[in-house]
Chain A
Amino acid sequence: MTTSFTGPERHDHSEHQPEPGDHGRQGSDLINLGDGHHEGSGALPERFENPGLPEHVHRLGDDDPAAAKRSERQVASLFGVSMLATLLFVISYIVVGKGEIVTLPLIGATKALHVALGVTLGISLLCIGLGAVHWAKTLMSDTEVVEERHTLRSPDEDREGTVKILTDSAESTQLTRRPLIKYSLGGALGLFVVPLGLQLVGSLGPLPHDNLGVTLWDRKLNGKGRRLMRDPENTPIRLSDVTLGSVFHVLPEGIDDVQNPQDAKVKAAVLLVSMQESDIKNAKEASWGIQGVVAYSKICTHVGCPVGLYEHTTHHLLCPCHQSTFDMTNDCEVIFGPAKRRLPQLKISVNDAGYLVADQGFQEPVGPSFWERA
């Protein structure tokens, strides 16, 4: 378990002739010093010696009062500019109108108030900083100071004393001799967080039950399947509206009447597209749609982003969050990206009034996978 460092033991350089009798430590082979490159005892140290701090080099201002004066003026000017900028900030805050526009190079037209406040505040602060640092660098002493370090370890006396207090305490409390107290105390201390933890965790939220597997499409409206409605106009859609190459963003009828519309939208959002019926490769997909018009969940099976990037030429559906790509001609199977499962399809039909309607909900949970899903 020992490790060596290059300090005490140098390895042998076989090119050089070792000369026994040198004063290296424990047989380290030193090198023939040869002629008068080095003077001295003939012995070389194992390592170079730390030469100590280099000689202090004076700055301009240390010797030249004019340079010091110049620094003083620079520092004072920076502080002066800071004050000026602060003043301008106050004036801008009071004077510049909220709607005023200024056109700046690189940035273009932008709100004058915002830029004025930002720039004046920035300059005001920056100049204080620059002034202070410049002052420290040019006028304050730049002679380096050496502070000694001391080992962090406490003296043995203190360490032993500490241990002794602890062992004495164990002795005087009789903790070691009375295991009954020891274990019951441990148990009590171990358990006291349970009420607090239970209260917190238990009251944070309801249990999921089967909530993740149910969408608004499952709930009939007045005993009938819900119509497909345009998002955000909330108007019903006729089959004839969905012309070839179209994509409709769809929510179920009555979404605004449920208790938490946002919670319902997350699961019920649907994408309705129209393709050539002959492009559809999957028999179930074709039969759950009408004349090439099919409806799929818009919620990604990866982590739940809305999958809306529909390419009507390739019929690929891309998720903007993590690039999972679904093939809409083949029952939305995953052809690229981190998602595993197909998007669930919504079976649609046309009701008596000619509107698209979903007779049944999704036949599997929509959105991201979860433990109880399978």
Chain B
Amino acid sequence: MTSDAHTGTGRPADALRGDDETSTAPKKKGGGAVGGVANWMDERTGGAKGIRYLMNKVFPDHWSFMLGEVAMYSLIILLITGTFLTFWYVPSMGETIYHGSYTPLQGQQMSEAYKSTVDISMDVRGGLLIRQIHHWAALLFLVAIMLHMFRVFFTGAFRKPREINWVIGVLLFMLAMVEGFAGYSLPDDLLSGTGIRAAQGFMLSIPVIGSYVAYFVFGGAFPGSEIIPRLFTVHVLLLPAIIMGLFAAHMILLIVHKHTQFPGPGRSDHNVVGFKLMPVYTAKAGGFFFIVFGITALISGLVTINPIWMYGPYEPTMVTAGAQPDWYMGFADGALRLSPGWWEFTLLGHTFSLNVMIGAILLIPVIFTALGVYPFLEAWITGDKREHHLLDRPRNAPTRTAIGMGFIAFYFVLFVASGNDIMAITLHLSINDITHVMQASIFILPPLVFWITKRLCMSLQRSDRDLVLHGKESGRLIRTAEGRFFEAHTPLSEHDRWRLVSYETHRPIAAPTEADSNGVGRRQIAKDKMRARLSHFYFNDRIEAITPAELAAAHHDGQAFESIESAEDGDRLEIDSDEFDHHMHGGAEELSSGHAYSHPQDQEPS
């Protein structure tokens, strides 16, 4: 039972759970009016302890740690501007005739939702600015969430104890997408109306219940008069409430866990090195909120987004070329564009529209489930049950990094495919050719990117090893008595070195042998075998960090001087890997099963 996982010992937080405040009278009244208010508050809330604890929280400095903050601040901007917009927006599909100030729409029939959005854009002073801030912040919100997720993934920040927070983050990402789509649909313009039209087609593709789902969601036939008011409720009430709840949980867990940090001298799994919330991070993070808001406002002042007055009101018979959703829904749209028509078939008197359902209905839950499950899968494969607060440098987890990049390649192909028509006109290509290339790429590119990334990570690790063994090139040439040239290398300082040698590498686990499997169920054996195979896939090719012994040996061999013409040197040091046929330098060996240099424990699972 770990029902009370938050409770630790000896942490300042425990003060919060300790005895209640018992002092009966304020002891001092320093600090003037502020002190007075603080005293008044604390006597009624006991908040000083918690606030003191929070203000002492230490946050490490790294630009990539600010990506999550960009997302958080975008969310706040969205809440502020969104609230403004609700004061003018009318969530109604009632038909009306436009008689506002924008001539090109004069006398056009349109819904009240569209008319009110045009009014916000044209007649409310600064209304268009608020609308554009809202929309740009939404795009940046999702960009930042995604990059934040990449940062967490590639640095292994999702490992124990942060798996729950990863899952919350994945949920937030998915909800933010749905929230974005709902908001994009509210103006009821031609483009977003086409999007809702397609969404109804998506619903219809669901087997058995599809048409019921569509009729329930739309309150009858498409477009009906219900969808905009319903999306409005979802967009301003339901999803924001869930998102804020999950976001609060995300933040509380962040505070409980304390922030991760990159490896470096003085940093370990048992500490966090950085600056306190008060004053430095209050100024930095608080200031950053204004920077994010300011940049978003500047962009919104200078660059148009979603010019709904140009799109015109939604009419079911109209459509525009270049019909795309906002970028975060692009990958699903791209998947639809790449799906072949023969995925639809009729069986037993019923229509299976897999050409629609796979891309539009299944893809998003499948991708997000895979994302949510990943930390648990990796933990199972490594069997690592320790807490991790030091981040991995991406190169030091080559297989994970390669899997992540492979996934990004997959996503990227779908994403690009959703812009195939825009690519066709801007690059003067055939839309058919682009689509065929994308269809092939979706199968070719992810494995290729996986392979390249893994090799790249390992060569970076090798060069790290080189650097540790031989130091930095000093640029100073030395000539030996025999006339050979050497470049003198300066060894790394222990601080510089630590960053390169402090990482740990998992080793593949052995497959269960017959002897192990006595008395164990067949299912368990299969599971163990699968785990051994995955472990082999992850860690068979690996490059381990330099040990003091290796460094000492290198010095002993006089490798502080590396030959410029290192043919002789290379012959001795380079080892062919039978699997990948490449060369390694400077004593960095790739450890591979069945390899002459492998550890006896690393035998290939049979």
On whether A and B touch (CB less than 8 Å), the answer reads yes
Interface residues in chain A, defined as those with a beta carbon under 8 Å from any beta carbon in chain B = 1-7, 9-14, 16, 30-35, 37-38, 44-48, 50-54, 93, 98, 107, 111, 113-119, 121-133, 135-137, 140-142, 144-155, 158-159, 162-163, 166, 201, 204-208, 211-212, 231, 249, 251, 260, 262-263, 265-266, 269, 298, 302-306, 308-309, 320-324, 334, 336-341, 367-374
Q: Which of B364-372, B469-477, B590-598 forms contacts with chain A?
A: B590-598
* Nearest Cβ on chain B to A307's Cβ, whole angstroms: 8
Q: Which of B29-37, B83-91, B122-130, B139-147 forms contacts with chain A?
A: B122-130
| A151 cross-chain contacts in B, Cβ below 8 A | 8, 387
- 18 extra A-B contacts, CB within 8 A, seeds A51-B495, A340-B355: A9-B599, A10-B544, A48-B548, A50-B266, A117-B126, A122-B300, A125-B297, A136-B279, A137-B284, A141-B280, A166-B3, A211-B215, A260-B221, A303-B356, A323-B435, A337-B341, A340-B341, A374-B346
Are B291 and A129 within 8 A (Cβ)?
yes
Are B283 and A135 within 8 A (Cβ)?
yes
Are A124 and B294 within 8 A (Cβ)?
yes
Are B9 and A33 within 8 A (Cβ)?
no
State the CA gap A5–B356 with chains docked (Å). Answer: 47
Are A3 and B10 within 8 A (Cβ)?
no
Cross-chain pairs A/B with CB under 8 angstroms, 19 sampled: A13-B553, A44-B547, A50-B498, A98-B123, A117-B126, A122-B295, A145-B58, A147-B57, A212-B211, A262-B224, A303-B197, A304-B200, A304-B201, A306-B317, A320-B319, A338-B339, A369-B356, A370-B351, A371-B209
Are A336 and B545 within 8 A (Cβ)?
no
State the CA gap A50–B502 with chains docked (Å). Answer: 8
State the CA gap A2–B531 with chains docked (Å). Answer: 12
Tell whether B413 is near chain A: CB-to-CB under 8 Å: no
Given the known interface contacts A3-B382, A47-B547, the answer about A370 and B275 at a Cβ–Cβ threshold of 8 Å is: no
Interface string of B190-230 (1 = CB under 8 A from A): 00001001101110111111111011111111111110000
**Closest chain A residue to B385, Cβ basis:** A3
**Partner pick for A11 among B291, B553, B598, CB 8 A cutoff:** B598
* Nearest Cβ on chain B to A135's Cβ, whole angstroms: 6
Tell whether B256 is near chain A: CB-to-CB under 8 Å: yes
| A212 cross-chain contacts in B, Cβ below 8 A | 204, 211, 221
Are A147 and B258 within 8 A (Cβ)?
yes
Are B4 and A369 within 8 A (Cβ)?
no
Are A304 and B506 within 8 A (Cβ)?
no
Q: Which of B168-176, B177-185, B320-328, B450-458 forms contacts with chain A?
A: B320-328
Are A121 and B297 within 8 A (Cβ)?
yes
| A141 cross-chain contacts in B, Cβ below 8 A | 275, 280
| A162 cross-chain contacts in B, Cβ below 8 A | 1, 3-4
State the CA gap A233–B339 with chains docked (Å). Answer: 37
| A30 cross-chain contacts in B, Cβ below 8 A | 549
Are B210 and A371 within 8 A (Cβ)?
yes
Are A31 and B283 within 8 A (Cβ)?
no
Across the A-B interface, give the 5 residue pairs with the lowest CB-CB distance, nearest first. A118-B301, A126-B294, A303-B201, A132-B287, A129-B290
Are A128 and B301 within 8 A (Cβ)?
no
Tell whether B7 is near chain A: CB-to-CB under 8 Å: yes
**Partner pick for A115 among B209, B301, B506, CB 8 A cutoff:** B301
| B341 cross-chain contacts in A, Cβ below 8 A | 324, 334, 337-340
**Closest chain A residue to B304, Cβ basis:** A110
* Nearest Cβ on chain B to A327's Cβ, whole angstroms: 13
**Closest chain A residue to B335, Cβ basis:** A338
State the CA gap A52–B464 with chains docked (Å). Answer: 20
Are B298 and A129 within 8 A (Cβ)?
no
State the CA gap A303–B358 with chains docked (Å). Answer: 13
Are B221 and A126 within 8 A (Cβ)?
no
| B222 cross-chain contacts in A, Cβ below 8 A | 263, 266, 304
State the CA gap A121–B298 with chains docked (Å). Answer: 7
Number of chain B residues close to chain A: CB under 8 A: 158
Query: Chain B CB within 10 Å — which of A12, A118, A146 has the most?
Result: A118
* Nearest Cβ on chain A to B318's Cβ, whole angstroms: 7
Are B218 and A205 within 8 A (Cβ)?
yes
Are B319 and A308 within 8 A (Cβ)?
yes
Are A368 and B205 within 8 A (Cβ)?
yes
Are A320 and B421 within 8 A (Cβ)?
yes
Query: Chain B CB within 10 Å — which of A3, A249, A306 has the most?
Result: A3
Given the known interface contacts A9-B599, A31-B553, the answer about A119 and B435 at a Cβ–Cβ threshold of 8 Å is: no
**Partner pick for B294 among A54, A127, A265, CB 8 A cutoff:** A127
Are B599 and A12 within 8 A (Cβ)?
yes
Are A263 and B223 within 8 A (Cβ)?
yes
Are B302 and A154 within 8 A (Cβ)?
no
Given the known interface contacts A13-B550, A129-B289, A340-B355, the answer about A322 and B58 at a Cβ–Cβ threshold of 8 Å is: no
Interface string of B550-586 (1 = CB under 8 A from A): 1011011000000000000000000000000000000
Given the known interface contacts A338-B355, A341-B344, the answer about A159 and B280 at a Cβ–Cβ threshold of 8 Å is: no
Are B549 and A44 within 8 A (Cβ)?
yes
Are A14 and B275 within 8 A (Cβ)?
no
**Partner pick for B287 among A34, A133, A144, A309, CB 8 A cutoff:** A133
Given the known interface contacts A4-B507, A50-B502, A370-B205, the answer about A126 and B291 at a Cβ–Cβ threshold of 8 Å is: yes
Interface string of B465-494 (1 = CB under 8 A from A): 000000000000000000000000000001
Tell whether B342 is near chain A: CB-to-CB under 8 Å: yes
| A32 cross-chain contacts in B, Cβ below 8 A | 553, 556
Are A269 and B316 within 8 A (Cβ)?
yes
| A44 cross-chain contacts in B, Cβ below 8 A | 547-549, 552
Interface string of B1-29 (1 = CB under 8 A from A): 11111111111000000000000000000
Are A159 and B351 within 8 A (Cβ)?
no
Interface string of B254-281 (1 = CB under 8 A from A): 0011100000011111111111100111
State the CA gap A276–B353 with chains docked (Å). Answer: 35
Which residues of B in the span 487-528 have a Cβ within 8 Å of any Cβ on A?
494-495, 497-498, 501-502, 504-507, 509, 528
| A305 cross-chain contacts in B, Cβ below 8 A | 194, 197-198, 319, 323
Given the known interface contacts A126-B291, A154-B5, the answer about A5 and B548 at a Cβ–Cβ threshold of 8 Å is: no
State the CA gap A111–B216 with chains docked (Å). Answer: 43
State the CA gap A144–B209 with chains docked (Å). Answer: 59
Tell whether B383 is near chain A: CB-to-CB under 8 Å: yes
Tell whether B405 is near chain A: CB-to-CB under 8 Å: no
Tell whether B350 is near chain A: CB-to-CB under 8 Å: yes
Tell whether B340 is near chain A: CB-to-CB under 8 Å: yes
State the CA gap A159–B265 with chains docked (Å). Answer: 35
**Partner pick for A107 among B204, B300, B302, B495, CB 8 A cutoff:** B302
**Partner pick for B556 among A37, A208, A231, CB 8 A cutoff:** A37
Tell whether B407 is near chain A: CB-to-CB under 8 Å: no
Are B323 and A369 within 8 A (Cβ)?
no
| B315 cross-chain contacts in A, Cβ below 8 A | 262, 265
| B104 cross-chain contacts in A, Cβ below 8 A | none
Query: Chain A CB within 10 Å — which of B273, B300, B317 has the most?
Result: B317
State the CA gap A302–B360 with chains docked (Å). Answer: 12
State the CA gap A207–B216 with chains docked (Å). Answer: 8
State the CA gap A368–B206 with chains docked (Å). Answer: 11
State the CA gap A307–B555 with chains docked (Å). Answer: 73
Interface string of B31-67 (1 = CB under 8 A from A): 0000000000000000000000000111000000000
* Nearest Cβ on chain B to A286's Cβ, whole angstroms: 25
Are A321 and B198 within 8 A (Cβ)?
yes
State the CA gap A308–B321 with chains docked (Å). Answer: 10
* Nearest Cβ on chain B to A363's Cβ, whole angstroms: 16
State the CA gap A205–B215 with chains docked (Å). Answer: 6
Which residues of B in the span 347-379 have a Cβ within 8 Å of any Cβ on A?
349-351, 353, 355-356, 359-360
Are A263 and B224 within 8 A (Cβ)?
yes
Are A31 and B552 within 8 A (Cβ)?
yes
Tell whether B337 is near chain A: CB-to-CB under 8 Å: yes
Given the known interface contacts A16-B553, A338-B339, the answer about A298 and B287 at a Cβ–Cβ threshold of 8 Å is: no
Are A37 and B287 within 8 A (Cβ)?
no
Are A130 and B287 within 8 A (Cβ)?
yes
State the CA gap A116–B194 with chains docked (Å). Answer: 33
**Partner pick for B272 among A147, A322, A334, CB 8 A cutoff:** A147
State the CA gap A298–B319 with chains docked (Å). Answer: 11
